[in-house]
Amino acid sequence: MSVTRRNFLQAGAVLAAASPLSQPAPSDRITVGMIGAGARATELMHAIQQHPQAEIVAVVDAYKGRVQRAIERTNGRAKPYKTYQELLARKDIDAVVVATPDHWHKPIIVEALRAGKDVYTEKPMTYRSAEGPEIIAAARSTERIVQVGSQPISSAGQQAAKEWIRSGRLGQVTMIRAMYNRNTASGAWIYPIPPDASPQTVDWEMFLGSAPKRPFSLERFFRWRCYSDYSGGIATDLFVHLCTSIHFLMDATMPSRVMAMGELYRWKESREVPDTMNAILEYPEGFVVNLSSSFNNELASEGGLQILGTEGSIVVGDGVTFYPEHAVEDNRWIVESWPKALEDAYYRDPKVIASEVQARHRPKGKPERLPSEGPDSTVAHFGHFFDSIRTRKPYWEDATAGHHAAACAHLVNLSVGERRMAEWDFGKDDIRV
């Protein structure tokens, strides 16, 4: 068994251990409240239910249909609440999952922490970059756990990729390319709306919260990712995943500069945020990142994340693949223009013989592929969260990591909106103004 294969299987074993399926002792039981019960929250509920030590006991949502379906999925065990404040007031709830539109994340997270709850929040952690330090401070002062839900870093593949990079196998990494491409209405967040949705089944004021007051709109409610009042669009919904993985894999903190462009070309129904976006992020650790996303074409090179080094590359997609470099110096076309005596002397140099003549005959290394294995990454991610609740030791994707991943997205949107370079202030840990 190769070292890389062994490491991959070990990573899968660790993740499986973080996702226990055996029956826990009553003292290990973790009670969970769901704040938000939409499509992504439903997936999170499925993942939570793979952990016998956790039980969903409460749910709140601004659409009655979602609440009803969530209760059904818990076999009637979850109790409905009219507001998240009522849910937080319940003393026997250990943790909450925040799966609301982005503009609600910070106030709910902070109130939940002050109510003594540990928090799993969907990405992005923040709606505005300045909210990040507030959440970090609240987590520290309350000594509660915050874990952000960008789950790919909990996959066995990304765990193995991180070990490859740390080992130096890729050589010097100077460029990373990452992308999300789609070509459907649902991929562009133009979701179907439930036939029973109406002012009688949708609490519009609950949904709006601190957002600008607008007339009742089912499109805004069910397709909120398409509107800047509630979401940062592609950057905060998709690029934030990529930035989280890049920071995790590269042990990086934040880009120092960002330049980006984004436009709305096609999906103009129920929408104001771009459907196409490109960004360049420069990191002080010594590499540059290209991020791109189109909702108008699905074609993409293999994998959504390419880490390019001087000795090899990693492509993270359906599994993880290492591609060794086969760089060979070949200066024949240069030295053939020299005087013949100098050309002959060049090829008698032992260094040239080794680096050019002999290197041309070395066999190319073969790609090494590690297929997708281990538990579903969202299930594994909740395993880390529940372990943190028991041990009181946060997982890597804590409030600080969540702040920085979301802040990358905010830098991208700032650059797009103001048509200028956006910069990060490492001293104040926020966007430079």
CATH assignment at residue 278: 3.30.360.10
Looking at residue 62, its amino acid is A
**Chain position carrying tokens 């251990």:** 17
The count of structural domains within the chain is 3
Of 57-61, 291-295, 306-310, 370-374, the range with the lowest mean pLDDT is: 370-374
Instruction: Provide the pLDDT confidence category of residue 27 given band limits of 50, 70 and 90.
Output: low
Q: Are residues 103 and 239 in the same domain?
A: no
β-pairing, 422-425 vs 430-431, is antiparallel
Domain range for 237 is 157-210+218-326+364-374+400-431
- Would the pLDDT of 15 be above 80? no
Q: Within this chain, do residues 131 and 38 fall inside the same structural domain, yes or no?
A: yes
pLDDT at 62 over 70: yes
Pair of tokens at residue 213 = 């007051």
pLDDT at 129 over 50: yes
* Mean pLDDT, range 206-234, rounded to an integer: 98
Residues 257 and 346 in one domain: no
Q: How far apart are CA 420 and CA 203, in angstroms?
A: 39
Rounded Cα distance between 42 and 35, Å, is 11
Q: Are residues 268 and 189 in the same domain?
A: yes
User: pLDDT band for position 22 (50/70/90)?
Assistant: very low
144/161 same-domain check:
no
* pLDDT beyond 80 at 418: yes
Pair 52, 79 in one domain: yes
pTM for the full predicted model: 0.92
DSSP state string for 304-346: SEEEEESSEEEEEESEEEEEE-------HHHHTTS-HHHHHHH
The mean per-residue pLDDT over the stretch 227-245 comes to 98
For residues 265 and 318, membership in a common domain is answered with yes
- As given in the structure block, the two tokens for residue 156 are 């066995």
Reported as a single tens digit per residue, the pLDDT across 377-401 is: 999 999 999 999 999 999 999 999 9
Is residue 299 located within the same domain as residue 409? yes
Closest CA to 50 of 6, 19, 24: 19
Same structural domain for residues 30 and 110?
yes
Q: How confident is the model at residue 29 (pLDDT cuts 50, 70, 90)?
A: very high
Q: Are residues 81 and 61 in the same domain?
A: yes
Cα torsion at 369, 375, 380, 382 (round to 10°)?
150
